[in-house]
Structure 1
Amino acid sequence: MTIQSRIPIKPAAISPFRTVREIVESDDQGKAHDALSRMACFVSRHLTSKHPDLGRPGPICPFARQGSASGGIRFADCSAGRGEEAQIGEIMARVRSDFLAWGEGSGIPHVLRAYVVTFSALEGAEDAAMIERVQKQLKPDYVESGLMIGQFFPGCEEGGIRNPGFRPLNAPVISLAVRYMTLPDAPFMLGDPRFRAAFIAHHGPDGERELAQLQNSRREEAG
């Protein structure tokens, strides 16, 4: 009888978070660094540019330029592979706590802070769908903490707020991004009573007014 040795599976891990500048100046090589570099470029160049299909003036993300320059936007790579959906969820739950703790002492304004986690071992539609499931599973806990979690991946079909035909989440690398919830996030809160309650809890009367105005506007559009 041949006894096959069992090779222990290395648990998924996440690298230290680094700024755009630290990534650019690094002499690291390999798939993880390539993923970080491509996503850092997407955030610091693409999201800071204007786009004719955006539906409003200004850059795609109003905070990306200052966030990148100030070191408020930071990137890390997660080694999780296909089939490690539960591990990704656990890692992103820790990322939420780390993000909140880091921000308290960073001295960087809330709107300029973000964590972006790339998944260099993932690729293709199946893996992208897994990341979307993780995002949906974690969103309630994130929103209750005053945060947003968004999915990015090649070919992402989710439309923009002002132009459903625009694809702001179509990025070169499968990733999850974490940032603070802001008043313009009101459209993302209408579909779930938990999100509405958390939004109002964090933004108070301003948040309540924002949701009410948005609902009235949509009723008028519906006729």
Structure 2
Amino acid sequence: MLGKPSQSERLSLEEASSDPAFREIVAWIGKFLCSPHAELGRAGDVCPFAKTAVTKNAIEFFRNASVDTDSLEEDMRQHLTEFEQGDRADIYRCRIIVPTQLDDAAHAVQSVQRALKPLFVERHLMVGQFFQDCDEPGLWNPDFRPLRTPVPLLAIRNMVPTDVAFLYHDASYLRTYLDKFGSRGSSALRQFEMTREANK
């Protein structure tokens, strides 16, 4: 069993809720992700998995002490290895990593996510970048900005069939997705393409 990543310290939900950097994230999960939003573009909560993840205590919080982008990337590779050791069928598992020692954490988060996404997708995992001014549009409303958080962070979770929307525009990612989900993935892909056409 691997130890904790060298640049990261794990926090319990109680510790995260009282920590200055993390309590904003805990509040964002509860008030934003676990609630509907007028600009979302569909019915339901912003994240359909968040409420159950909170109930199951399936979200892990880590304070990251990396001092540059390279060390953050290396630490994220260790997080990937550790995450793979857990339940790969649990769609509610999520690991949140918050770098607290970087001068430009938002830039580092973007850079590391971009560099490591191919490796994560190859392992049937998703890695997301979140920060205050993130311009990534929502899936159902291009004017919605769901990845804006109070502090910069990276999030890791298991790939799910609805991730076709995040992988559609890269042929390699899409092949990996279809290899994992088979006929279920093909159905999700057809549904996604039909929805795209209908919304044009």
Query: TM tier, shorter chain?
Result: 0.7 to 0.9
- How far apart, in 1, do the equivalents of 2:196 and 2:29 lie? 31
Determine the structure 1 residue equivalent to 2:132. 154
- How far apart, in 2, do the equivalents of 1:185 and 1:148 lie? 9
Select 2:37's aligned residue among 31, 34, 51.
51
Select 1:120's aligned residue among 87, 96, 100.
100
What is the deviation of 1:187? 1.4
Map 1:3-14 to 2 at 5 A.
13-14=7-8
Map 1:180-191 to 2 at 5 A.
180-191=158-169
What is the deviation of 1:38? 1.6
What is the deviation of 1:55? 0.8
Give the aligned CA root-mean-square deviation in angstroms.
Answer: 2.0
What is the deviation of 1:44? 2.7
Match of 1:96, as an amino acid?
A: L
| CA deviations over 1:22-76 (Å, ceiling 9, x no partner) | 433x6xxxxxx32122212211332111110011111111111121121101111
Q: Is the 8 A contact 1:19 1:72 kept in 2?
A: no
Moved segments of 4+, more than 4 Å: 219-222
TM-score scaled by length of structure 2:
0.88
Determine the structure 2 residue equivalent to 1:129. 107
- How far apart, in 1, do the equivalents of 2:80 and 2:185 lie? 22
- How far apart, in 2, do the equivalents of 1:57 and 1:139 lie? 29
- How far apart, in 2, do the equivalents of 1:41 and 1:72 lie? 16
- How far apart, in 2, do the equivalents of 1:95 and 1:158 lie? 24
What is the deviation of 1:217? 4.7
Match of 1:142, as an amino acid?
A: F
The question of 1:87 aligning with 2:80 is answered no
Map 1:185-200 to 2 at 5 A.
185-200=163-178
Match of 1:163, as an amino acid?
A: N
Change (3 A) 1:221 1:60: closer
Q: Is the 8 A contact 1:36 1:76 kept in 2?
A: no
Rg larger for: 1
- How far apart, in 2, do the equivalents of 1:43 and 1:99 lie? 20
- How far apart, in 2, do the equivalents of 1:199 and 1:160 lie? 20
- How far apart, in 2, do the equivalents of 1:176 and 1:77 lie? 11
- Say how many residue pairs are matched: 195
Q: Is the 8 A contact 2:99 2:105 kept in 1?
A: no
| CA deviations over 1:94-138 (Å, ceiling 9, x no partner) | 11111121336xxxx612110000112235xx5312211210111
Structure 2 residue ranges without an equivalent (≥5): 1-5
Change (3 A) 1:50 1:218: closer
What is the deviation of 1:209? 2.7
Q: Is the 8 A contact 2:127 2:154 kept in 1?
A: yes
Change (3 A) 1:138 1:178: same
The question of 1:175 aligning with 2:148 is answered no
Q: Is the 8 A contact 2:124 2:180 kept in 1?
A: yes
Overall identity of the aligned pairs, in %: 30
Partner SS for 2:70: helix
